[in-house]
Amino acid sequence: MKINDKKYATIQEYADGFGTLSDEQATKLMRQWMDVDIAAAQLRAKYLPIVSQAIGGRKGATFAQLDRRISLMIQLQLASRVPLVQAQ
C-alpha cells in the first residue's frame, strides 16, 4: 500500500506541475517513479519464497506471474493516461 501511495503521489505531483516543470523537477519525478518500481520489485522478491513455500514452487511461480501481469496491465493503463513531459 505504501508503494502505491508513493506512486500515486508522484503522479499527482507531476499532474500539478504539468506545463511548468523545470528540468530538475522532471528529473526528480522520474527518479521517484523509478524508485517506486524498484521498491515493488524488491517486495515481490521478498515474498516469492514465502508464497512458494506455502503453496509449492509451481503454484508460487504461477502466482508471481499472475501478480506481475496484473501489475503490468495497471502500469500500462496509468502510463497511457500520463502525458509525456515533452508535451508540456
Total Cβ atoms within 10 A of residue 61 = 13
* pLDDT at 87 (0 to 100): 64
Predicted confidence at residue 85, as pLDDT, reads 86
Distance CA 88, CA 84 (A): 8
Is 60 within 8 Å of 52 (Cβ atoms)?
yes
Mean pLDDT split into 10-residue runs, the chain, 88 residues: 92 89 93 94 96 97 96 91 79
- CA neighbor of 64 nearest in space, from 46, 77, 84: 46
Residues 79, 14: contact at Cβ < 8 Å? no
| All cell numbers assigned to 55 | 503453496
